[in-house]
Amino acid sequence: MAKQKKIAKHIKESVRFTALELLVSISEKQAYSNILVNDAIKRHHLSDKDARLMTEIVYGTVGHKLTLEYYLKPFIKNPKKLDNWVKQLLLLSLYQMFYLDKIPEHAIINEAVNIAKAKSNPGIGRFVNGVLRSIQREGEPSTELIQDPVKRLSVEVSLPLWLTQRLVDDLGIDEARKLGESLLVPSHVSVRVDTRHISREEARDELIEQGLEVSLSDVSPYGLVIEKGFLGNTRLFKEGLITIQDESSMLVAPAMQLEASHKVLDACAAPGGKTTHIASFLDESQGGKVIALDIHEHKIKLVEDNAKRLHVDGVVECELLDARKVGDVFADESFDRILVDAPCSGLGLLRRKPDIKYTKTPEDFNNLQRIQLEILESVVPKLNQWGIMTYSTCTVTKEENQEVIEEFLKRHSNFELIDVVGAGTLEKSYQDKQLQLYPHHYHTDGFFISCLRRKS
């Protein structure tokens, strides 16, 4: 086995070297960027400033990968002979050169050359220097050279061609471009306020007093948007009066039209954000309860921990169960409300998890639609007459959303679509009694909600 080269500490612990290691792991092992970034920040004890820069470089390079590869391609004579780590080093350097304006280009190039020499040899250092200097001198190739408009859009917004084509088919090219461009804008953090104990305005004011930049959500009456600041040290977070949740996800529980005495089935519950929100509408003394199912044991523990932290464990009951097997456990017509927050492609989360856009395939959608319909078919006998079943996903494709509901209604004429309560003010996203939030509409995750009432 070849002896691994010892790398100087000041390089090995640098922000860009750490970013390079993560990018290599993401590209070779399909590791999740959000998990790697959080682990690296803790492992290297990065300062806030370094953590922000490292996160920006990793997310930015992954998010713009196809664009950066297009820029790099004319400057590499033998791309097949290029080691992956050298390619990742060039891409992260290009990201800094073209998308960050506070770092001088000579500093970016010097650091890339130093990393290349430290990891390999002076010859690789000269190669990296030559490529980056050439691009600096000649500039990035224009995407106008790409004749096909969909292919050009794919490169410009860094979405795989098949996915770009699908979005263009669904939305038209102008909306698909807006959506794609919005995914390249960093997401913000939002929190749900437990308004049983504190109003949104009071929570906002207290967080501002503690130095955070906070505003009221325009999407959810339970939400606050955090533009800047660390939540973990605040009293409200420690005492479980706020919890991190995307604004779009906060729309689910109100849409279910819950009453304090309701018995609710949350068929795919983990990690428990929606379960705990549902629970906040229920009253144990009136018989209110939410049964939270998940197929993974460790995720059940996560839901239980969340329920305890948010003081709703009295009405949350967790069970390890595949939602497609509820017929083995629960009697028919057991529940007043059912939530199917279905397993999905997660394309609505691309702003937070940019790496997943390169790993999905068109075949995934057909498999997922089958599973989504199987879950709906499994739980539907468990709903009381006049009960409401809510279907939601964190994705944006019609196959997983509108087409699933359309197919379900074909099979069940005793169900009708009803309004999604709370969606009326979101005019850009609400059509035909179904809420399809696209990330460029209100800068939320992509999300879908539909509510179905059983008539007989």
Please check whether residue 225 is in contact with residue 214, taking contact to mean a CB–CB distance below 8 angstroms: yes
Burial bucket for residue 283 (CB in 10 Å: 0-12, 13-18, 19+): middle
Q: Would you say the pTM of this structure is higher than 0.85?
A: yes
CB within 8 Å of 130: residues ≥ 6 apart = none
Nearest CA among 311, 305, 315, 196 for reference residue 266: 315
268 is catalytic: no
Report DSSP letters for 207-248, one per residue.
HHHTT-EEEE-SS-TTEEEEEES-STTSHHHHTTSEEE--TT
Please check whether residue 341 is in contact with residue 268, taking contact to mean a CB–CB distance below 8 angstroms: yes
Q: Is 188 left (phi over 0), alpha (psi -120 to 50) or beta?
A: beta
Please give the Cα distance from 371 to 359 (Å, whole number): 19
Please check whether residue 178 is in contact with residue 168, taking contact to mean a CB–CB distance below 8 angstroms: no
3-state secondary structure of 6: coil
- Name the DSSP letter for residue 279: H
Point out the catalytic residue in the list 268, 318, 394, 451. Answer: 394
What is the pLDDT, as a whole number, of residue 4?
A: 65
CB environment 51-79: b (16+ within 10 A), e (fewer): bebbbbbbbbbbbbbbbbbbbbeebbeee
CA distances from residue 408 to 328, 331, 379, 380, 420 in whole angstroms, order as listed: 22, 21, 12, 10, 17
Please check whether residue 216 is in contact with residue 200, taking contact to mean a CB–CB distance below 8 angstroms: yes
| Terminal-residue alpha carbon distance, the chain | 70
Please give the Cα distance from 408 to 413 (Å, whole number): 9
Report DSSP letters for 79-146, one per residue.
GGGS-HHHHHHHHHHHHHHHH-SSS-HHHHHHHHHHHHHHHS-HHHHHHHHHHHHHHHHH-PPPGGG-
What is the pLDDT, as a whole number, of residue 10?
A: 80
Tens of pLDDT, residue by residue, the chain (456 residues) = 455 667 777 887 889 999 999 999 999 887 778 788 888 888 888 888 888 899 999 999 999 999 999 999 999 988 888 999 999 999 999 999 999 988 899 999 999 999 999 988 889 999 999 999 999 999 999 999 999 999 999 999 999 999 999 999 999 999 999 999 999 988 889 999 999 999 999 999 999 999 999 999 999 999 999 988 888 889 999 999 999 999 999 999 999 999 999 999 999 998 899 999 999 999 999 999 999 999 988 889 999 999 999 999 999 999 999 999 998 899 999 999 999 999 998 889 888 888 888 888 888 777 899 999 999 999 999 999 999 999 999 999 899 999 999 999 999 999 999 999 999 899 999 999 999 999 999 999 999 999 999 997
How distant is the alpha carbon of residue 109 from its chain centre?
Answer: 32
Backbone φ and ψ for 154, nearest 5 degrees, come out as -55, -45
What is the pLDDT, as a whole number, of residue 323?
A: 92
258 is written with which tokens? Answer: 């819950």
CA distances from residue 418 to 199, 379, 390, 453 in whole angstroms, order as listed: 29, 19, 10, 7
Please check whether residue 348 is in contact with residue 447, taking contact to mean a CB–CB distance below 8 angstroms: yes
Nearest CA among 233, 272, 241, 244 for reference residue 187: 244
What is the pLDDT, as a whole number, of residue 3?
A: 58
Q: Is the dihedral of CA 167, 171, 174, 180 positive or negative?
A: negative
